[in-house]
Amino acid sequence: MVECDVESASGFCNGDFVFCHGASSLTITNSTVIVLCVKRDQYKTVTDFALLVPASEPDAMGEATFLSETECVRHVRALKLEEIKKTAKGLKRAEAEHFDALLALRDSLESMDGLARDNAVERMKRVYRRRESERPKYPPEVERILGETFASFSGLSPEETIKYMDGVRSGPKASASLQRLFSYEVSQAVGSLLHNAQIVLWWMEGAFRPAIYCPDIKTALYIHTFFLAPVGGVGFRICPYDGEQFFQDRPNQEYCCPAHREAHRVARFRDKKKRKAAESGKKVRESNGTKKAR
């Protein structure tokens, strides 16, 4: 994913904002457009994907040529990066906690940062606790039947199976693997929002343009953050030092500021030292226990 503007575009530039590397330019106004460039190799671009959302006719970039003519949506436009940022800020508390927990989990897995990983896991635990407190209660008999029916598939007790089905705990495999937990949680979050989101072929200004159509901006936020931005673009991150969300200025930015980068390096060094000492102590205790057993 690349963010294209007049200064940085390596493709066609015509007006304030552009699609890069495409067959032709496409002029837009007022904000940066989100485009995913898929490359065949370092010299040739296969195509570009715009992230599309419904639009009123005055704001539209074109007709929704890929939708059924019975749909109420008639016009679409490419999403602006500022709208992505605004949508993230406007998430409700529970949604924001889950969004930030997923960010923290992804970032810690990428960096292999044990300290950041522990903080991300604690964020997810808070998400589950909140879901548990807000979970609707079903009649006991209904819960019993559902739990017993699906327990053999989940590998959990009937009671825990109900919790898993309601999203207030992770499955046994996800509990043992943060990679699987992240994969599942992101897919469920996007899947619950996607409804009619789809990869489409858009006829625009005399050319076919592959695009990702999202029925609303919240869906687009998740797609941009967890699917497009990681492919070489800028997006939201969680600063490993203070745990606050920020939007990158460049693709490889991992901290909100240089001071936090240096502070976290010290904290991470101390954490590694602490873990190493704990592991050494554990081995000594195990060794002593083995000798006593003899």
User: For 104-120, what is each residue's pLDDT tens digit?
Assistant: 999 999 999 999 999 99
Distance CA 52, CA 64 (A): 9
Distance CA 219, CA 136 (A): 25
CB atoms within 10 A of CB 271: 16
Distance CA 26, CA 48 (A): 12
pLDDT band, residue 286 (cuts 50/70/90): low
pTM of the entire predicted model: 0.76
Domain ranges, ordered by start, for the chain:
2-89+194-233
Distance CA 271, CA 258 (A): 20
User: For 94-105, what is each residue's pLDDT tens digit?
Assistant: 999 999 999 999
Lowest mean pLDDT among 14-23, 46-55, 94-103, 163-172: 14-23
* Residue 262 pLDDT greater than 90, yes or no: yes
User: For 131-167, what is each residue's pLDDT tens digit?
Assistant: 999 988 889 999 999 999 999 999 999 999 999 999 9
**In whole numbers, what is the pLDDT of the chain averaged over residues?**
82
User: Residue written as tokens 């327990």?
Assistant: 151
DSSP codes, 68-125 = -TTSS--EEEEPBHHHHHHHHHT--HHHHHHHHHHHHHHHHHHHT-HHHHHHHHHHHH
Strands (E), 166-261: 198-204, 207-213, 236-238, 245-247
Given a contact cutoff of 8 angstroms between Cβ atoms, the answer to whether 199 and 210 are in contact is yes
